Amino acid sequence: MRSMSFEIAKSFGRLYLDPSSSSLRLRYVPMEDGELNENSIGACDIAIDIEDVGNLWATTRAFLYGVESLDLNIIIRPAEESDSEVLVKLYRDKPKGAQGALSGEETCWLRIVSGRSEEERRRIKLGPRDLLSIELACNAVLVMSASPIYNSAATANGHLALASTKATKKAATKKVVNVDVDAEEESTAKTTTIREARFSIS
């Protein structure tokens, strides 16, 4: 099944937003010497779980339409202990209006921190189109999560994976049984040979 993708293009890199029924995938590829380099230390590939997509969607809409909202911090914990946590922060500059009110001229930023080096501390300035791309990507995740079509596809993929695992285990069990049978036959053949030898000596 084909899926949609959104792109935030900057002079220093590209941020791709890939929605699915369970998460929003963020892929950042830095630009080096005028070309995108997926093997750069600054490249990253993370997934924001659907539990946090709703908050990202609401905060992005608030920033897009210039209404009051707190900044958003999302901490993605690694699956392996050797990896470090990833911080995704959506924020904007302090209000520039009178008495701390929003003026509509505040700059919005997306920060992705996956390490201590400068390359791993990415900060992307977001314009209206960029905010709209994030908002639409989040909305796509929410729509797909409630769609029976995508849920059926995910369930089918899960059943295929389970069937494949069962088939592999069955084949492995059959192989072990065959080995045991061969060993038993070999043992029986040796016993028969010894008996025949004894009869010959007698």
Q: Find the farthest-apart pair of alpha carbons in the chain and give their distance in angstroms, rounded.
A: 117
**Does position 42 have pLDDT exceeding 70, yes or no?**
yes
Most confident of 1-10, 71-80, 119-128, 142-151: 119-128
From the number of C-beta atoms within 10 Å of its C-beta (0-12, 13-18, 19+), residue 110 rates as buried
Cα dist from 113 to 117, 121, 157, whole Å:
9, 4, 32
The pTM is what?
Answer: 0.72
Element housing 29 (H / E): strand 23-32
Residue scoring higher pLDDT (191 or 87):
87
28 near 35, Cβ under 8 Å? no
